[in-house]
A and B are shown apart, each in its own frame.
Chain A
Amino acid sequence: MTGRPDDADPLVAAELAELEALAAALPADEVEGVPPVAGPQDWE
């Protein structure tokens, strides 16, 4: 398994930075108590 991507690879570093920013935009408190997706979803 690799560790943190080599910052010398600009494409990888840019993608990681973008994903980290996206992750920061998904707040943890909004999903308190919500289980992750597992199997078919419970649609109405």
Chain B
Amino acid sequence: MSAVASTTERVEAAIAAAERLDPTINAYLHLDPEGARATAAAEQRAGPLAGMPICVKDIIDVAGMPTTAGGKDWIRHPDADAVVVARLRAAGAIVIGKGNTNEFACGIDGRNPHKGDCRNPHDPDRLSGGSSSGPAAAVASGMAEAAIGTDTSGSIRVPAALCGVVGIRPTRGLVPAEGVVPLAWSLDAVGPLAPDVGTASLVLDAMAGRERPIPRPEVTGVRIGLATELLALAEEPVAEAIGATVDHLRAQGAGVVDVALPDLAGRATAIHRIVQACEVAAAHAPWFARQRDRYAPEVRARIEPGYSLGAEVYLRAQRHRRLFSRSFAAAIRGLDAVIAPASPVLAPRIAEEEITVRGERRPTRAALLSCAMAFSQLDGPAVSVPIGLREGLPVGLQVIGRPHAEDVVLRIAAAAEGGG
């Protein structure tokens, strides 16, 4: 869309794309073309996001639209926007509709037995990734210029990688979560998805209630660690694209070295799963006992065990989480950021419960999470940036930084964008 397009033209373009493509993609659970048109026509838009049509993940409240969280029969009708939505509207954005999600954001594949699977715009027979499936697919297919998602284990970064858009998991606490259906309070982060790093950065700053210059792709002298254990998990086309991006970053003056990170596969996974299980059980306690049978079996299996684990196990996992953070900080001393695959595989086919990665059969969902989950415990920003296509499908590079290091992380992401 040209920079001189009017608000009405931009909104109409997003609506037209949705009407043409969404019967196949299923990115939206609720579309409000008339509301968006009325808003575009009625107001002189001002602000950093003036006239930008956006998609909001359907676990986030938008006044006047239902919040279903992708659940069966679960619904609320908010009369107020979530804080993050109010901030984007105040910055000039226009909500087009509510984006598809795994049920209660519980999942990484974008599948939803109640509302229908979200499909990958690059190949509708393939997974979009999730749980911010609709936001990622809407941005990738031009049904929105940006979107709001949430990330607990990888739910912004993985769909961003599979759909070929930028997704930012910000420093925890930078973006308020009021008005968002929780998955796991101490792990949840609200963040933007957008076609490019500049737009994503602009939207992030509006979400955080601040204005800052858009990060430039300047990486001269920046020190980056390549997480080799995670690169070794990636299938060949993904690893090759990341290798090309490393060369691209070095050519721009960045120093890229191999870095060994502690306990990524074992202990970090244990900590994460226990913390999430206990927190999601607590979040769903008000209605789970009465509505247990309305949850999809695999979502029920994520929630129910948390009631049996107990406070001691939860707190022990949180203490181990602190140790993990300290070990990670020590491992990257002297570095500005770490890079890794966002997903170790290209978008799998929807029906594949298992996939083969480097000759080994792995459950699809576990494979999709294997490069993203560990970093969710660290409280710092993690970004997935599209670096190129392999076999016609996008590859995402993950850039991970210290808490509040968004500036350097986004500069690296901008320099890496399309570099593979």
Contacts and interface: CB of A to CB of B under 8 A. Distances in A.
Q: How large is the interface on B (under 10, 10 to 19, 20 to 34, 35 or more residues)?
A: 35 or more
B403 interface: yes
Interface stretch (B56-64, B239-247, B270-278): B270-278
B289 to A, nearest CB: 5
B145 to A, nearest CB: 31
A29 B348 CA distance: 41
A44 B300 contact: no
A20 B317 CA distance: 12
A5 B307 contact: yes
B273 A37 contact: no
B379 A40 contact: yes
Interface residues of A, number: 30
Interface of A: 1-5, 9, 11-12, 14-16, 18-20, 22-23, 25-26, 28, 30-31, 34-37, 39-41, 43-44
Given A5-B305, A14-B301, A31 B319 contact: yes
Interface of B: 171-173, 186, 266-267, 269-271, 273-274, 277, 285, 288-289, 292, 297-298, 300-302, 304-305, 307-309, 313, 315-323, 325, 329-330, 333, 378-380, 402-403
Contacts of A18: 273
Nearest to A44: B329
Contact of B289 (A2, A19, A26, A37): A2
A14 B43 CA distance: 54
B309 A19 contact: yes
A18 to B, nearest CB: 8
